[in-house]
């Protein structure tokens, strides 16, 4: 059975599309799925760095689109998970180097051998976004709980609905429970009420994400922290499981809970 092409987009830049694509890919692969991630941010590639594969790139998306190599030659396999692959973007050239139909064709080809093809979209609503969305079976919209990100997400939702790829599901990234409690940050309900689409997941702000990016090892490899668990829950929901949402105001875990978590039993 062919897999699903899921495009991760946002409109606004810097909200966490690449981080979420990388971590979702790892989490799905840890669930036993076969996953290929595609970076469509041509000219400003980043998915390779976040996944720790930047030193092993030989061919990229533009090479495949222009026929210099077959797509399988451009795929880089993850060192830790044998069913996880990356198709990197080019660091030279720009978004005009490929056309939406070409990316859609590549997605269709990869779909046949994967459970999931995750497409990391660049910021914006122009060609790069059009490329990323062309082959999508479904769309994940990423936003942070800030006014400009939510406004951009709304525009993107409108665009994908107009293209017939809607309605999409939402991931709210970098929520800070302390600020929400103080009344200085929009909460999950506020964002969902504004955007009116289904919630796929909420990821709390977590310094460990930056540390993981420094090391080139996506945080989803360590599912114990707040953000790590959120990525895994999102992966499970994407795969069709009903996973209850974690309360963002976590109670202080008891010693027993903490021990169980360390042992991987919680």
Partner 1 sequence: MNILSRLIARYRKNSKTIAKERLRLVLIHDRSGIPPEVLNQMKNEIIAVISKHVKVDRDNIEMNISRSEGRTRLVADIPIVSARNAPAIDIPFRAGRPRSGQPADGAERPTGRNGPESETL
Residue ranges that bind partner 1, judged by CB under 8 A: 147, 150-151, 154-155, 157-158, 161-162, 164, 166, 180, 182-187, 190, 194, 196
Kindly state the smallest distance separating residue 209's Cβ from partner 1, in Å: 23
Kindly state the smallest distance separating residue 151's Cβ from partner 1, in Å: 6
Which candidate, 78, 89, 70, 71, places its Cα nearest to that of 35? 78
Kindly state the smallest distance separating residue 145's Cβ from partner 1, in Å: 9
Round to whole Å and give the CA distance between 23 and 96.
28
Residue number, 189 or 265, with CB nearest to partner 1: 189
SS3 readout for 121-167? CCCCCCHHHHHHHCCCCEEEEEECCCHHHHHHHHHHHHHHHHCCCCC
Kindly state the smallest distance separating residue 172's Cβ from partner 1, in Å: 14
For residue 164, the tally of other CB atoms under 10 A from its CB is: 6
Distances (CA, A) of 184 to 138, 175, 191, 204: 33, 11, 14, 15
Kindly state the smallest distance separating residue 155's Cβ from partner 1, in Å: 7
Residue with token string 């709980």: 145
Residue number, 183 or 264, with CB nearest to partner 1: 183
Residue number, 117 or 150, with CB nearest to partner 1: 150
Residue number, 163 or 211, with CB nearest to partner 1: 163
Round to whole Å and give the CA distance between 210 and 218.
9
Residue number, 194 or 224, with CB nearest to partner 1: 194
């Amino acid at each position: 059975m062919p897999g699903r092409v899921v495009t991760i987009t946002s409109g606004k830049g810097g909200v966490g599309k690449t981080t979420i694509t990388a971590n979702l890919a790892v989490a799905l692969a840890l669930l036993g799925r076969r996953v290929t991630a595609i970076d469509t941010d041509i000219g400003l590639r980043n998915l390779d760095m976040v996944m720790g594969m930047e030193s092993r790139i030989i061919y990229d998306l533009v090479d495949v689109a222009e026929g210099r190599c077959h797509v399988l030659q451009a795929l880089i396999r993850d060192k830790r998970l044998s069913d996880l692959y990356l198709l990197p973007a080019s660091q030279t050239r720009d978004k005009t180097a490929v056309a939406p139909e070409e990316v859609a064709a590549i997605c269709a080809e990869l779909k046949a051998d994967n459970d999931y093809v995750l497409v990391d979209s660049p910021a914006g609503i122009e060609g790069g976004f059009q490329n990323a969305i062309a082959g999508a079976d479904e769309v994940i919209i990423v936003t942070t709980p800030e006014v400009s990100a939510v406004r951009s997400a709304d525009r993107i939702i409108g665009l994908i609905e107009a293209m017939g790829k809607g309605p999409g599901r939402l991931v709210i990234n970098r929520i800070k429970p302390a600020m929400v409690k103080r009344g200085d940050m929009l909460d999950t309900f506020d964002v969902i009420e504004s955007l009116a689409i289904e919630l796929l997941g909420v990821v709390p702000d977590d310094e460990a994400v930056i540390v993981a990016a420094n090391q080139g090892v996506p945080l989803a490899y360590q599912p114990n922290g707040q953000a790590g668990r959120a990525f895994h829950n999102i992966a499970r929901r994407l795969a069709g499981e009903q996973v209850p949402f974690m309360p963002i105001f976590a109670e202080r875990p008891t010693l027993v809970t903490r021990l169980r978590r360390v042992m991987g039993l919680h």
